[in-house]
Amino acid sequence: MFDIDKWQEIFATIKKNKMRTFLTGFSVAWGIFMLMILLGSGNGLSNGVSENFMRDAVNAMWLWSGRTSIPYQGLKEGRDIRFTNADYDVLKDLEGIEYTSGRYYIGGNKFSYGNEYGEYTAITCHPDLREVENIEIVEGRFINQVDINETRKSVVLGKDIYDALFKNKNAIGEYVRVNNIPFKVVGICKEGGGTRHRNAYIPVSTGQKVFNGSNRLHNFALTINATTLEESQAIEQRVRETLARKHKFEASDESAMGSYNKLEDVIQTMKIFQAIKIFIWIIGTGTLIAGVVGVSNIMLIVVKERTKEIGIRKAIGASPSSVIGLVLLESILITTVAGYIGLVMGTGLMELINLVVEKQYEISAATNGGNGETIFRNPTVDLGVAMTATLLLVVAGAIAGYIPAKRAARIKPIEALRDE
Amino acid sequence: MISLKNVHKSYVTGSNSLHVLKGIDLEIQKGEFVSIMGSSGSGKSTLLNILGILDNYDDGAYYLNGSLVKDMSEKKAAQLRNELVGFVFQSFNLISFKNAMENVALPLYYQGVNRKKRNKIALEYLDKVGLLDWAEHLPNEMSGGQKQRVAIARSLISQPKIIFADEPTGALDTTTSYEVMEILKEINAGGITVILVTHEHDIAAMTQKIVRLKDGRIDQIIKNGDLKHFQHQYAKELETA
Minimal CA separation from A3 to chain B, in Å: 10
> Do A393 and A282 have their domain in common?
yes
d(C-alpha A377, C-alpha A359), whole Å:
11
> Do A24 and A86 have their domain in common?
no
Q: Let me know if residue A261 belongs to a domain.
A: no
> Do A95 and A109 have their domain in common?
no
Q: Does A311 touch chain B (CB under 8 A)?
A: yes
Note the Cα B116 to chain centre separation in Å.
29
Judge: B158–A316 Cβ closer than 8 Å, yes or no: yes
> Do A175 and A193 have their domain in common?
yes
Position A348, amino acid: G
- Interface ipTM: 0.88
Crossing angle (nearest 10°) for helices B100-109 and B144-157: 20
Nearest CB to B78; choose among A17, A312, A318: A318
How far the first Cα of chain B sits from its last, in Å, is 37
> Do A86 and A171 have their domain in common?
no
- Which of B186, B201, B141, B145 has its CA nearest to residue B168? B145
Which residues on A lie below 8 Å from B87 (Cβ)? 315-316
d(C-alpha A178, C-alpha A119), whole Å:
10
d(C-alpha B33, C-alpha B188), whole Å:
6
d(C-alpha A56, C-alpha A101), whole Å:
14
Which residue of A lies nearest to B115 if distances are taken between CA atoms? A5
Cβ pair A412, A307 in contact under 8 A? no
Judge: A8–B115 Cβ closer than 8 Å, yes or no: yes
Q: Let me know if residue A10 belongs to a domain.
A: yes
Nearest CB to B49; choose among A13, A312, A414: A414
Q: Let me know if residue A60 belongs to a domain.
A: no
Task: Tell me which residue range forms the domain holding A395.
Answer: 4-55+267-418
In this structure, which CATH number among 3.40.50.300, 3.40.50.10490, 3.40.1380.20, 3.40.50.10260 belongs to the domain B30-56+73-240?
A: 3.40.50.300
Minimal CA separation from B194 to chain A, in Å: 16
Number of domains in chain A: 3
- Which of A199, A225, A190 has its CA nearest to residue A57? A225
Judge: B75–A319 Cβ closer than 8 Å, yes or no: yes
Which residues on B lie below 8 Å from A321 (Cβ)? 75
Q: Does A308 touch chain B (CB under 8 A)?
A: yes
> Do A361 and A328 have their domain in common?
yes
Q: Let me know if residue A288 belongs to a domain.
A: yes
d(C-alpha A415, C-alpha A407), whole Å:
11
Confidence band of B228 (pLDDT split at 50, 70, 90): low
Cβ pair A413, B48 in contact under 8 A? no
HEC profile for A172-196?
CCCEEEECCEEEEEEEEEECCCCCC
Q: Does A271 touch chain B (CB under 8 A)?
A: no
d(C-alpha A278, C-alpha B96), whole Å:
49
Per-domain boundaries in chain B: 30-56+73-240
Q: How many inter-chain contacts (A to B, CB under 8 Å) are there?
A: 73
Output phi, psi for A257, to 5 deg: -145, 115
Note the Cα A296 to chain centre separation in Å.
37
pTM, two decimals, is 0.68
Q: Let me know if residue A260 belongs to a domain.
A: no
Judge: A315–B83 Cβ closer than 8 Å, yes or no: no
- State the average pLDDT over residues B28-38: 92
Which of these ranges, A390-394, B7-11, B29-33, B220-224, has the smallest mean pLDDT?
A: B220-224
> Do A231 and A207 have their domain in common?
no
> Do A366 and A276 have their domain in common?
yes
Dmax over CA atoms of chain A, in Å, equals 106
Which residues on A lie below 8 Å from B79 (Cβ)? 317, 319
Which residues on B lie below 8 Å from A317 (Cβ)? 78-79, 81-83, 107, 110-111, 158
Which residues on B lie below 8 Å from A308 (Cβ)? 93
> Do A48 and A96 have their domain in common?
no
Q: Does A320 touch chain B (CB under 8 A)?
A: yes
Q: Does A314 touch chain B (CB under 8 A)?
A: yes
Judge: A317–B81 Cβ closer than 8 Å, yes or no: yes
Output phi, psi for B156, to 5 deg: -90, -20
The pLDDT value recorded for residue A1 is: 45
Instruction: Fill in the DSSP letter of residue B200.
Output: -
**A316, A323, A327: which to substitute to probe chain B, counting the most B Cβ within 10 Å?**
A316
Nearest CB to A317; choose among B55, B79, B98: B79
The pLDDT value recorded for residue A401 is: 81
Which residue of B lies nearest to A322 if distances are taken between CA atoms? B110
How many residues are present in chain B?
241
| pLDDT tens per residue across all 420 residues of chain A | 457 778 888 888 888 888 888 888 888 888 888 888 888 888 888 777 777 766 666 788 889 988 888 888 888 888 888 898 889 988 888 888 889 999 888 876 888 888 888 888 888 999 998 888 888 888 899 999 999 899 899 999 988 888 888 888 888 888 998 888 899 999 999 887 666 788 889 999 998 888 888 888 998 998 888 777 788 888 888 889 998 888 888 888 888 888 888 887 887 887 888 888 888 888 888 888 888 888 888 888 888 888 888 889 988 888 888 888 888 888 888 888 998 999 889 888 888 888 888 887 777 766 655 455 666 777 777 788 888 888 888 888 888 888 888 887 888 888 888 776
Q: Let me know if residue A262 belongs to a domain.
A: no
Model confidence at B183: pLDDT above 70: yes
Tell me the β-bridge partners of A184.
Answer: A154, A175
Which residues on A lie below 8 Å from B95 (Cβ)? 309, 312-313
CA atoms within 13 A on the CB side of A120: 30
Nearest CB to B110; choose among A322, A413, A414: A322
The pLDDT value recorded for residue B152 is: 93
Minimal CA separation from A360 to chain B, in Å: 53
Judge: B81–A16 Cβ closer than 8 Å, yes or no: no
> Do A96 and A109 have their domain in common?
no
Helix (H, G, I), strand (E, B) or coil at A337: helix
DSSP per-residue letters across A371-383: ----S-------H
Which residue of B lies nearest to A16 if distances are taken between CA atoms? B97
Model confidence at B241: pLDDT above 60: no
